[in-house]
Structure formats: C-alpha cells, structure tokens
Amino acid sequence: MFFLVLILFLLPFIAVNVCLFYLFPGPHGQEHWASVYPNCGGTAQSPINIETRHVKYDSLLRPVEPEKYGNPESDPFTLLNNGHTVEMALPISMWLQGLPARYTAVQLHLHWGSEGYPGGSEHLLDGEVFPAEMHVVHYNSEKYSNISAAKDKPDGLAVLGILLEAGDTVNAAYEHIFRYLGNVKYAGEKVVVPPFDVRTLLPPRLDHYYRYNGSLTTPPCYQSVLWTVFKQQVQISWTQLDKLQRALFSTDTEKYPAIPLVDNFRAPQPLNHRTVYASFPLGSTSAYSTGEIIAIVFGLLFGTFGLIMASFFIVRRLQLKKKKKKGQKIIVCTCCLYFFVV
Ligand SMILES: [Zn+2]
C-alpha cells in the first residue's frame, strides 16, 4: 500500500519530459487520458487542426531566430529510445530569439505513423496529415531555472513544430539522426551522436509560421506550450520514413515479443475559443518571394499573349490560303501585324 501511495505521489514528477510520456501507446486509449490526468481534458490542448481560413495575421510576430543551433557548444549529442519516441538531448547553449522571452533548448523528438498509413504528424493543416512531425522543445529560461520548474506554467515552454513530408530525395541533415536509429532499437537504449548543425533540420523559412497557445501532446498535458508550427514543410525520403517506422520498438530487450514503436501521435484536439495567429499575411504564397511572384505573373501574361498571337497568325494564314485558292488579290501589312484581304 505504501509503495502504491508513493508511486501515485511520484507520478507527476516522473513524467517531467515533454511529449514523452505515453501511458497508452498509439492513438488507442487517448480518450482515457483525462481520467488520469485532468489537464488532458482542458480547453487549450494540443495538437490541433490549423484551419487557415480562421487564422489571424499578426504583423508583430517576428521571425524565429535559433541561436547557437549551427554551432552548439557541447559534447556529442545523446540519442535515446525512451519507449515512446526517439529523443535527442540538446545543449543549453542553444536558445530561441524572436519569442516573448528567452527560451532555452532541451531536446528534440519525433512523432510518426506506421507503414501504409498517410498520417503520423500531430498537427494538421486544413485537415491534411503529414507522415511525421519533429518537435524542438525549449523552456522559458528568463523566468524558470529548468524545464521541471517551467513545464506546468502558462509561459513555461515553447515548442517548434516541423511537419515532415516524404519524397524521393534523402535529407542529409536528418541522416545525422536516422543513421543511428539501429543503435537504439529497444526502449532504454542510448547512442552518442556527433554534434551537427541543428538548424539544418528546420525549414528554410523561419518567418512564416502559425502560433497558438496549447499543451504538451502527452500526459500530463500541461497547458504550458507556446506553439510555433512552421508553414513550410521539410522533406525526408521515403526510405528515411520507412526506417523511422520500422527501426524502433517500444519495449526493452527483455520483452518478447517486441512491440513496434509506431503511431506515437495524438489526435487533433478542439480549438475551443483559442485564436491561431499567422506571422504572414493570409493568402500570401509563402513559397515564393514578391520578385518571384511578379516574374511568374509577367511570364504568364507574356505566355498568354504569345499563344493568342500564334493562334491569330495560324487562323489568318489558313484563311489566306483558302482565299488565294479562289484567285483573290491579297495585301498583307506585316509591319502592324494586321492583315487585310481585298
Ligand atoms: Zn512531441
């Protein structure tokens, strides 16, 4: 009895990691989280489906500026299979600028689906799911001494959400992590990863993102996260996605049979009365700069004009041929591109 009481008392302290504590593996059982962790039934939960037609543009949202991401002052990183995700610890030298406070990096981890299923991301964009999503977790180091102190405070955490899509090209940056997945197949296994430029895991454009107040996506679901979900996705290869979906187990080496570590994403939660903000004007084409848009518009205009002129000449030429056959005299005024048939 004493141990039961002790465990119940310690549970909230054990579950200190962000997005890491999957009491119920996979999407099944998520509906029961709130009965054990009341915050999971709160009104500001994550993830969400970002409906762009309801998003509000906020011109004051500055670009996210990762500091020391490119040159982390650290010994090698440590990659861990914690049974719920694969997590890489980040050095405290890495932090974010451009947010309401200074947020220091703690760790990054991934969410993904399973073979043959298109989903795996936690956030959705206009109902669209993506095969995977990476989260880079930070805590408010201006106000709190560490993540344990910050994790349940309304302004405690900031997480970057990067939606991953699959394509033909291998993403070299993600290989810095994926090449070591085979070394952390079972829960509890760790491997040392040489330090690399973590900025390369993020999308090129850090000025276009969605921002809202939400929660951890795993129990205890504290509503303490300032979310930044980038509009631009990052592509990994089909082979890399396949490796992520197949390489890991949620069970340790002792357990038989081993249970694949898949579908570690939470279903989208109700937005309720929250507002999702965008750092860019709504309706803008984020993938193109203003110059590129002007070039495209002029290209289309000239292309259309060219097609019209070509069609005009062809039609007129056919008409002239017909009339020439009938013995009519033809005067062609080519300098002004008009044809007169006499
Ligand atoms: Zn997460």
**pLDDT grade, residue 248 (50/70/90)?**
very high
- Averaged over 182-207, what is the pLDDT? 97
Q: What is the pLDDT of residues 58-84, one digit of tens each?
A: 999 999 999 999 876 777 899 999 999
Instruction: Say if residue 217 is in the same domain as residue 314.
Output: no
Q: What is the pLDDT of residue 320?
A: 66
Identify the pLDDT of residue 254. Answer: 87
Q: Would 335 be classed as within a structural domain?
A: yes
Residues 180, 268, single domain; the answer is yes
Number of domains in the chain: 2
Out of 28, 84, 111, 138, pick the active-site residue. 84
Q: What is the pLDDT of residue 71?
A: 75
Rounded to the nearest whole angstrom, what is the distance from the C-alpha of residue 46 to the centroid of ligand 1? Answer: 10
CA of 112 to the centre of ligand 1 (A): 10
Instruction: Give the pLDDT of residue 334.
Output: 41
Beta carbons of 278 and 58 less than 8 angstroms apart: yes
β-strands 225-230, 157-167: how paired? parallel
Asked whether the predicted pLDDT for residue 95 surpasses 50, the reply is: yes
88 CA to centre of ligand 1 in angstroms: 12
Residue 314 is predicted with a pLDDT of: 67
- What's the CA-to-centroid distance between 206 and ligand 1, angstroms? 19
Is residue 300, in this structure, part of any structural domain at all?
A: yes
Q: Are residues 327 and 244 in the same domain?
A: no
Q: How many residues does the chain have?
A: 342
Distance 228 CA to ligand 1 centre (A): 12
Q: pLDDT value at position 19?
A: 43
- Asked whether the predicted pLDDT for residue 4 surpasses 70, the reply is no
More confident residue, 303 or 278: 278
What per-residue confidence (pLDDT) applies to 177? 98
Pair (240, 223) in one structural domain: yes
| Residue range 7-16: mean pLDDT, rounded | 37
Q: Is residue 7 part of a domain?
A: no
Asked whether residue 26 falls in the same domain as residue 175, the answer is yes
Here the tokens at position 86 are 């694969």
- What is the chain's mean pLDDT, rounded? 84
Task: Mark whether 171 and 259 lie in a shared domain.
Answer: yes
Looking at residue 340, its pLDDT comes to 31
| pLDDT beyond 60 at 222 | yes
Distance from the alpha carbon of residue 111 to the mean position of ligand 1, in angstroms: 6
Contact in structure between 83 and 109 (CB atoms under 8 Å): no
55 and 199 share one domain: yes
What pLDDT, on a 0 to 100 scale, did the predictor assign at position 328? 45
Q: Which domain holds residue 304?
A: 292-341
In the predicted model, is pLDDT for residue 169 greater than 90?
yes
93: left (phi over 0), alpha (psi -120 to 50) or beta: alpha
- 107, 115, 86: which is closest to 250 by C-alpha? 86
Residue 268 included in any domain: yes
Q: What percentage of the chain carries pLDDT values higher than 90?
A: 70
CATH code: domain of residue 147: 3.10.200.10
* 11 occurs within a structural domain: no
Same domain, 102 and 177: yes
Centre of ligand 1 from the C-alpha of residue 21, in Å:
10
Distance 118 CA to ligand 1 centre (A): 18
Region 206-225 average pLDDT: 98
Range from 149-163, 273-287, 315-329 that averages highest in pLDDT: 149-163
Claim to verify: residue 276 and residue 302 sit in the same structural domain = no
Tell me whether residue 60 is in a domain: yes
Secondary structure string (H, E, C) spanning the chain = CHHHHHHHHHHHHHCCCCCCCCCCCCCCCHHHHHHHCHHHHCCCCCCCEECHHHCEECCCCCCCEEECCCCCCCCCEEEEECCCCEEEECCCCCEEECCCCCEEEEEEEEEECCCCCCCCCCCEECCECCCEEEEEEEEECCCCCCHHHHCCCCCCEEEEEEEEEEECCCCHHHHHHHCCHHHHCCCCCEEEECCCCHHHHCCCCCCCEEEEEECCCCCCCCCCEEEEEECCCEEEEHHHHHHHHHCCECCCCCCCCCCECCCCCCCCCCCCCCCCEECCCCCCCCCCCHHHHHHHHHHHHHHHHHHHHHHHHHHHHHHHHHHHHCCCCEEEECCCCEEEEC
**pLDDT score for 290:** 47
Give distance in angstroms: CA of 279 to centre of ligand 1. Answer: 22
Annotated active-site residue 111? The verdict is no
Check whether residue 282 and residue 302 sit in a common domain. Answer: no
Please determine, for residue 205, whether its predicted confidence score (pLDDT) is greater than 80.
Answer: yes
- The answer as to whether 2 is a domain residue is no
User: Quick one: pLDDT at residue 317?
Assistant: 73
The pLDDT value recorded for residue 75 is 77
| pLDDT at residue 243 greater than cutoff 70 | yes
* 318 in the same domain as 195: no
In this model, does residue 21 exceed pLDDT 50?
no
Asked which of 16-25, 83-92, 121-130 is least confident by mean pLDDT, the reply is: 16-25
One domain, residues 138 and 183: yes
Write out pLDDT tens, residues 97-124. Answer: 999 999 999 999 999 999 999 999 999 9
CA of 290 to the centre of ligand 1 (A): 34
Amino acid occupying residue 201: L
Locus of tokens 């990054």: 108
Is residue 10 a part of any domain in this protein? no
Among residues 246, 262, 287, the one where a domain terminates is 287
Kindly indicate the confidence band of residue 23, based on its pLDDT and cuts at 50, 70 and 90. Answer: very low
Distance 135 CA to ligand 1 centre (A): 5
Confidence of residue 331 (pLDDT cuts 50, 70, 90): very low
Q: Using the 3D structure, point to which of 287, 302, 321 is the last residue of a domain.
A: 287
Distance 247 CA to ligand 1 centre (A): 19
